[in-house]
Amino acid sequence: MEKTRKLGQTDIEITAIGYGCMGQTHAYGVVEAEEDMVALMRYAHETGYIFFDTAPVYGEANEQYLGKAVAPFRKEVVVATKFGIVDDSFFSGNADALNSSRDSIKQQVDDSLKRLGTDYIDLYYQHRIDPKTEPEEVAETVEELIKAGKIRAWGVSFAPEEYIRRAHAVCKISAIENMYSFVARQDEGTYFPLCEELGITYVSACPLAKGYLSNRYCAGTKYREGDWRARMDLFQKEGMDANQNLMDLIMEFAERKQATPAQIALAWEITKKPYLVPIPGTTKKERVKENFDAVHVELSSAEMQEIEEALSHMDIVGM
């Protein structure tokens, strides 16, 4: 398996598996210590990662940690961050937390550059679309940022197909970032063909379904206050029971390939499409290496077909 891939139609090279920073400060009920996370991400780089994904809405510390971690080797890595969500009240349903106006984007990029301690961002995503701003206006603003040297490429996250087409016509989109995994396969019939048509990289967020596919959780697992998994159907007894056939399939392949369940989930993705790039996150050193080593797990065409055939008969409870 190739360890690197091109980012969209650019000459930017990224690892086939990236590192998602979200969980360091967001969604799991704890903000990890800066010293530990900086050391972890430097270890990730030593392991082979060159693609790192963050966002301001994960907490200002998230970008700061990444900026400090990669400072000694900034030109060797690809840093992705985001704009468009200007307040974490978005996660509570506040539509006013979305702003992709021209002036706001320009302020947001400068704020991110400052927190990251860098003078350019490799990949700048619109984290969520702003219904008050047309895609053409967003794309024009991004194009200005590219010309100014503040960003190298841009992308969108959770945007409708029509929006992507309209924005791409003004300034080429290099990546989309959506949720994709064994339990979230809804994009296969829509966004995959779009990526193939327009030459866009599909960055897969939550490829391990927030750890579910690692097979390290059970229905009785206790989560910290603030951990999203405590209220997700996927992690409740009903969800786990419903998906037992899926986990049995993953475990069978893990045994067959002498790999971990997480490695099977990641290897399946990067084998499935040459433009698919999963970005699992972890705060544990051993998982950093385990996840990246999925690039060494070879799944043949026959094995991929076997997996697809099995999946087609499953009624999977998703994210």
Just list the catalytic residues: 58
Instruction: Write out the two tokens for 113.
Output: 């550059």
- What CA–CA distance (Å, rounded) separates 13 from 154? 14
Report the number of secondary-structure helices (H) and strands (E) in the chain: 11, 10
Which residue type, as a one-letter code, is found at position 78? Answer: V
Question: Phi first, then psi: what are they for 57, rounded to 5°?
Answer: -70, -10
Find the helix or strand (DSSP H, E) in which 126 lies.
strand 121-126
The DSSP bridge partners found for residue 175 are 155, 201
- What CA–CA distance (Å, rounded) separates 241 from 254? 20
- What CA–CA distance (Å, rounded) separates 226 from 240? 21
Q: Do 124 and 153 touch, CB atoms closer than 8 A?
A: yes
CB atoms within 10 A of CB 186: 12
Q: Do 158 and 178 touch, CB atoms closer than 8 A?
A: yes
CB atoms within 10 A of CB 20: 26
Nearest C-alpha neighbor of 131 from the set 107, 100, 102: 100
As a 3-state breakdown, the chain gives helix, strand, coil percent values, each rounded to 5, of 50, 15, 35
Q: Do 21 and 58 touch, CB atoms closer than 8 A?
A: yes
